[in-house]
């Protein structure tokens, strides 16, 4: 039987090998990949965050846990993405300037890819200029900005402002997300949408390109 508690524990413990083995076993046994991510892997990272916040974990433990999470995600990602269909829209996605967190951003990218969007993933620590360049080059319909730090949230505002100043704000919809981001903040900085999870991001993106959810 798939032991998803092992996967959870391995991510929290930063044990990449066990995490990958447990993820593979769960997938082989037919566990739904979305459920695996949302019910076991994300909660494990939440627990890591809690341990960090109460100073039981420090940066090395965060790094080990995120390596374990990423190792398991590599196995899940292809299953989140479907293939072979015309893209329903183009999405430029990145973690904003100063922010190196990319696990949630990668999940959002995978889910959008699975929903038929073409993804242009700019990675982490992305400058407003880089976002603008990619939006123009790729004729993107949507820009997805991710931030995990309160200190990098203003870079979302700066990016939206730079897009406006570049004269292309009416050509591209902007979605924002990441743990500290709220709907209120999204409204404040003039984003077109916000979600606190990857499925919500897909629903919003579909709506923005005119597909009924
Ligand atoms: C892993 C991790 C790291 C790893 C990141 C590895 C990586 N490659 O991503 C490392 C070790 C590098 C790291 C570094 C730091 N981290 Co850190 N980190 C975390 C941790 C534990 C987990 C983040 C994560 O991956 N969550 C799982 C994913 C799946 O969730 P998510 O990112 O929120 O994404 C979901 C949603 O938010 C949403 N979403 C995300 N993006 C988008 C975008 C759009 C458009 C939409 C619609 C939705 C959406 O969908 C996703 C899927 O459901 C969090 C704690 C936490 N619980 O958030 C701390 C945390 C974010 N880190 C924190 C801190 C302080 C730091 C450091 C400053 C530590 C230090 N002293 O050096 C540095 C900063 C580095 C930098 N410049 O970015 C704090 C931030 C506090 C704050 N509010 O500002 C947190 C909250 C820990 C804590 N409790 O104190 N970190």
Torsion angle of C-alpha atoms 11, 13, 16, 17, degrees rounded to 10: -110
By percentage, how much of the chain surpasses pLDDT 70? 94
Instruction: With cut-offs at 50, 70 and 90, classify the pLDDT of residue 79.
Output: confident
Q: Residues 138-172: pLDDT tens digits? A: 999 999 999 999 999 999 999 999 999 999 999 99
Residue closest by Cα to atom 50 of ligand 1? 197
200 C-alpha to ligand 1 centroid (Å): 18
| Nearest in space to 191 (alpha carbons), one of 211, 207, 172 | 172
| DSSP-based three-state secondary structure for 161 | helix
Residues 115, 109: Cα–Cα separation, whole Å: 10
CB of 92 shorter than 6 A to ligand 1: no
Ligand 1 atom at minimal distance to the Cα of residue 180: 83
Q: Residues 103-140: pLDDT tens digits? A: 999 889 887 886 778 899 999 999 999 999 999 999 99
Structure tokens at 160: 């939206």
Q: What is the average per-residue pLDDT within 190-208?
A: 92
CB of 198 shorter than 6 A to ligand 1: yes
Which strand ranges, in their side-by-side order, compose the sheet holding 142-146?
118-121, 90-95, 142-146, 173-177, 193-194
49 C-alpha to ligand 1 centroid (Å): 8
In angstroms, the first-to-last Cα distance of the chain is 35
Residues 7, 196: Cα–Cα separation, whole Å: 23
Q: Which of 96, 120, 179 to mutate to test the pocket of ligand 1 (most atoms within 8 A of CB)?
A: 179
193 C-alpha to ligand 1 centroid (Å): 20
Residue closest by Cα to atom 71 of ligand 1? 59
pTM here is 0.87
CB of 154 shorter than 6 A to ligand 1: no
Is pLDDT above 50 for 1?
no
């Amino acid at each position: 039987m798939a032991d998803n508690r092992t996967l959870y524990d391995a991510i929290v413990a930063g044990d990449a090998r066990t995490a990958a083995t447990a993820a593979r076993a769960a997938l082989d046994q037919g566990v739904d990949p979305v459920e695996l991510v949302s019910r076991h892997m994300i909660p494990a990272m939440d627990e890591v965050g809690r341990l960090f916040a109460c100073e039981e974990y420090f940066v090395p433990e965060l790094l080990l846990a995120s390596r374990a999470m990423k190792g398991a995600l590599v196995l899940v990602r292809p299953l989140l993405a479907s293939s072979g269909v015309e893209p329903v829209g183009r999405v430029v996605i990145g973690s904003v300037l100063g922010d190196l967190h990319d696990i949630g951003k990668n999940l959002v990218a995978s889910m959008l890819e699975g929903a038929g969007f073409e993804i242009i993933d700019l990675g982490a620590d992305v400058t407003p200029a880089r976002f603008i360049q990619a939006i123009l080059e790729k004729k993107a319909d949507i820009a997805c900005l991710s931030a995990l730090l309160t200190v990098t949230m203003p870079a979302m505002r700066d990016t939206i402002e730079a897009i406006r100043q570049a004269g292309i704000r009416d050509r591209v919809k902007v979605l924002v997300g990441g743990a500290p981001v709220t709907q209120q903040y999204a409204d404040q900085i003039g984003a077109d949408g916000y979600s606190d999870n990857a499925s919500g991001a897909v629903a919003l993106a579909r709506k923005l390109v005119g597909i009924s959810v």
